[in-house]
Amino acid sequence: MSKLFAFTLGTLSAIGGFIDIGDIVADAQVGARFGLRLAWVTLFSVAGIMCFAEMSGRIALKTQRPALALARSRLGPRYALFGLVGSFLVTGLLVMAELAGVALALELATSVHYLLWVPVAAVLVLAVIWLLPFAVMERLYGILGLAMLVYVVAVWQLGPDWSSVLDSATTLVPTAGESWGAYLFFVVVLIGAQMTPYEMFFFSSGAVESRWRPKDLVEMRVNVVVGFPLGGLLAVAIQAVAFLVFFERGIHVEHISQTALPVAVALGKVGLAIAILGIFAATFGATLETLLASGYDVAQYFGWSYGKLQPPVRASRFTTVVLLLLLGSTALALTTVDPITVTILAVVCSAVLLPFLFIPVLLVGNDREVMGDLANGRLSNAVGTTTIAVSVVVSLAALPLLVLTRAGAA
């Protein structure tokens, strides 16, 4: 029973890793403009991030080292430095966006302007990172993140014409009035939002933090195989409720408050309260993950002590990186820069980086001298290679589409 309970808690934590501010915003925007015509992108993203999360977790199980550290030794410090700088900058933008998301959720709950909540959110994040053990921290926001399932209930409560929903989901072209450029731009946005590299490296570092060993292979895979598809289900549900409430009315999503409105339409004030709790839990959890992932990346590259299993004094440089990034993100959020704009920019840049960060993990996963009997099999290599091939195309197209479509506006 205790082992089953551990599986369940780990699975809930995986939901928190998939649904963050980038995914919530992107899914609502896509649903409002394209219905479910981009749901196939979410299916692809779930398969891709499952493959590389499992691969990076397996690497950590076998070697007791996170995937990024091994990638550095495999491809050399220069390539790893490029990946580190790119990943740190993108994840740093996401920290600011996630922190603003926490503040915006508190604004929805209290009607107090979100800028007043930003410092409060930063203090709460700091307190959780400083005081709570890794497992408790991860499981707490994972459990609270279950509130996001209210979007699934809302889809049902809205009583859709299921044939219309199916027709939308199986139509792979832009809706009337939308350009192919905008359609393809949001393909990039969804892939960047749903396969963000920090998920993979946080999962790998978390496996080290949790002291998983090869005997924990089944537990790790349960986390991946159940958790990420649940996250994908929530993503499609957000797209679906936005489709059902906004699409016919021609309403575009421009504020995070609009992502909760369809739930209020379906389920009233109680549903809205649960949705706000879910958004708070998802963005708060993602703030923790992006902060720690950034600290892990830097510490692992330079060979510093890191992690929450050690006292902050023993991992002082890791702790300093996390604190400085939190302070910088708080300051950026207080400049009144639009969190939605930052989020879209961050996930597009994330899409650019995907092949550069996936390729080293695939190479290490295939290194039988390192991985032994836990080296990649045919399925991992097939899915991983396909994911990289698509991510190369997405990487090349991301910035041109950002410019040509004016971030999806054209």
pLDDT single digits (tens) 316-364: 898 899 999 999 999 999 988 888 888 889 899 999 999 988 998 898 8
Residue 310 has pLDDT above 60, yes or no: yes
Q: What percent of the chain has pLDDT over 70?
A: 92
Total length of the chain: 410
Six token digits for residue 288: 């923790």
Residue 9 has pLDDT above 50, yes or no: no
Contact 134, 315 (CB under 8 A): no
Nearest to 117 by CA among 127, 131, 126, 107: 107
Longest dimension (CA), the chain: 59
Residue 260 has pLDDT above 50, yes or no: yes
For the segment 230-250, what is each residue's pLDDT rounded down to a tens digit? Answer: 889 999 999 999 999 999 898
Residue 3 has pLDDT above 60, yes or no: no
Q: How far apart are CA 407 and CA 280, in angstroms?
A: 26
| pLDDT number for residue 87 | 82
For the segment 127-147, what is each residue's pLDDT rounded down to a tens digit? Answer: 988 888 776 777 777 778 889
For the segment 79-96, what is each residue's pLDDT rounded down to a tens digit? Answer: 778 878 888 888 888 899
**DSSP per-residue codes, 304-354:** ---STTS-TTTTHHHHHHHHHHHHHHHHHHTTT--HHHHHHHHHHHHHHHH
Q: In this structure, what are the phi and psi dihedrals at residue 181, rounded to the nearest 5 degrees?
A: -60, -45
More confident residue, 6 or 119: 119
Residue 5 has pLDDT above 70, yes or no: no
Selection from 7-21, 25-39, 303-317 with the highest mean pLDDT: 25-39
What domains lie within the chain, and their CATH numbers? 2-404 (1.20.1740.10)
| pLDDT number for residue 309 | 62
Q: How confident is the model at residue 394 (pLDDT cuts 50, 70, 90)?
A: very high
For the segment 62-71, what is each residue's pLDDT rounded down to a tens digit? Answer: 888 776 677 6
| pLDDT number for residue 20 | 83
Nearest to 132 by CA among 212, 209, 19, 228: 209
Residue 32 has pLDDT above 80, yes or no: yes
For the segment 191-217, what is each residue's pLDDT rounded down to a tens digit? Answer: 998 998 777 877 777 777 777 777 888
| pLDDT number for residue 186 | 96
Residue 254 has pLDDT above 80, yes or no: yes
| Full-model pTM | 0.91
**DSSP per-residue codes, 150-188:** HHHHHHHHT---HHHHHHHHT--SPPTT--HHHHHHHHH
Nearest to 129 by CA among 282, 1, 284, 249: 284
Six token digits for residue 376: 């990649």
Q: How far apart are CA 321 and CA 96, in angstroms?
A: 15
| pLDDT number for residue 303 | 78
| pLDDT number for residue 6 | 52
| pLDDT number for residue 311 | 67
Task: Please give the average per-residue pLDDT across 3-19, as a whole number.
Answer: 56
| pLDDT number for residue 13 | 54
Min mean pLDDT across 85-99, 177-191, 392-406 is at 85-99
Average pLDDT over the chain reads 87
Min mean pLDDT across 32-36, 83-87, 259-263 is at 83-87
Residue 72 has pLDDT above 70, yes or no: no
User: Which residues neighbour 370 within 8 Å (Cβ) at sequence distance 6 or greater?
Assistant: 59, 62, 63, 70, 364
Cα angle value 279/284/288 (rounded, 5°): 150
Six token digits for residue 335: 């400049």
Tokens 């999806």 correspond to 408
| pLDDT number for residue 151 | 97
Nearest to 272 by CA among 124, 153, 162, 160: 153
